[in-house]
Amino acid sequence: MEDDVLALYKVANKDIVDIIEKFNLTAKTRKRGIVYKRYYLYHVLTSRRFLTCSMTGKFFGKDHSTVIHGLKLHDYWWKVKDMNYLTEINPIHELLKNEKISDGKFGFEVQHLGEEETKVIITGNFDWRVLEKLPSRMSKEELTKIFKEHGKNERGIYSVNE
């Protein structure tokens, strides 16, 4: 059962799996570049993709305590802007900057501009007059609320703001 869940998570996070394979991040090594990239991906999987530490560790063949340790070090190096760390993770950061999600009806392009700011481009069949009324900056909660309401109402997203 647990292997089936891991397989589903790997399908949902194919971009991360590809990066892990590209940089051989499952290798049993303490090379700084490999370790730093792992720590950054621990952060991405737990904070942006909302996986548990145990599930995140399974992507790399590690246990949850290793992930917790890596998250603490990532937070520290990110906070102090350690140049060695930032240089090593830059290729991964650049690969993950633009994420595209589409269900055929709506499309989302997510561009991570930093730790606290993300640009989201939404495509789909929306009434442009209503979209003009939306603020240019929105919190994650505000955006989530709009799409939850949209899912409940057949008339479309514009009905939330009328």
Q: What is the pLDDT of residue 157?
A: 36
Higher model confidence: residue 45 or residue 148?
45
Give the length of the chain: 162
Kind and range of the H or E run holding 120: strand 118-123
Q: What is the pLDDT of residue 113?
A: 64
Distance, in Å, from the CA atom of 13 to the CA atom of 83, rounded to the nearest integer, reads: 28
Q: What is the pLDDT of residue 13?
A: 84
Interhelix angle 14-22/53-60, rounded to 10 degrees, is: 40
DSSP classification of residue 136: S
First and final CA of the chain: distance in angstroms? 46
Token pair recorded at residue 104:
């055929």
* Percentage of the chain exceeding pLDDT 90: 43
Most trustworthy range by pLDDT among 21-30, 98-107, 128-137, 140-149: 21-30
User: What mean pLDDT, rounded, does the chain reach?
Assistant: 79
Distance, in Å, from the CA atom of 105 to the CA atom of 114, rounded to the nearest integer, reads: 28
154 pLDDT above the threshold of 50: no
Q: What is the pLDDT of residue 31?
A: 95
Residue (of 108, 103, 112) closest to 44 by Cα position: 112
Q: What is the pLDDT of residue 46?
A: 92
SS3 track for 74-103? HHHHHHCCCHHHHHHHHHHHHHHCEEEEEC
